Structure 1
């Protein structure tokens, strides 16, 4: 049986990616081994893994992760308080498919959409 998923998305700079997720989204580093070309981060019950992709062109990157949350209003406000840039087309709103959502682009143009069932 399937029990969880840990998406792997590209990064160009481990330091930049790590800084963004730790300081703008509230993640923490996972694991005790530091790999040059790989990064594992977690927040609450989710993990996101990153692989080094030096030639990544952010304008050509369509990486996307949908993250289900509870208490989306509080998390959205927390990110705003940290100065996190919300996607221009992804501010917190109720969608017709029964989700309340907002979106953020990371430094490599990976789209993170956070959603809560309403």
Structure 2
């Protein structure tokens, strides 16, 4: 029986990844194993592996995160000057989700969705 999925995303610079996820998005650090970083917010864990040669323009890492209370979280991001993806502003989608997206420092796409 499957119980949980934990995405593993590439990072070029651990300090920049920590600054974005911990300082800007409010995640906490679970563990730091040198070239491997684990963060958590609420019930969401994300793991990062070092990939110094990553070209962000060629990175297609993506995560879809379901959530509650999206309007408050979205406003918090705006209040903290987090850049929302230009093609991913807060919108109601035909598949019954309210969604928005942003990019991390390595161009990993984070899409947040909440059922409407």
What band does the TM-score fall into relative to the shorter chain?
A: over 0.9
1:5 alignment partner in structure 2: 5
What is the Cα deviation at residue 81 of structure 1?
1.2
Gapped runs of 5+ residues in structure 1? none
CA RMSD of aligned residues (A): 0.7
Of 49, 68, 88, the residue aligned with 2:66 is 68
Normalising by structure 2, we get a TM-score of 0.97
What is the Cα deviation at residue 36 of structure 1?
1.2
Please identify runs of 4+ aligned residues in structure 1 that moved more than 4 A. none
1:85 alignment partner in structure 2: 83
Normalising by structure 1, we get a TM-score of 0.96
What is the Cα deviation at residue 100 of structure 1?
0.1
Gapped runs of 5+ residues in structure 2? none
What is the Cα deviation at residue 37 of structure 1?
0.2
Q: Secondary structure at the match of 2:114?
A: strand
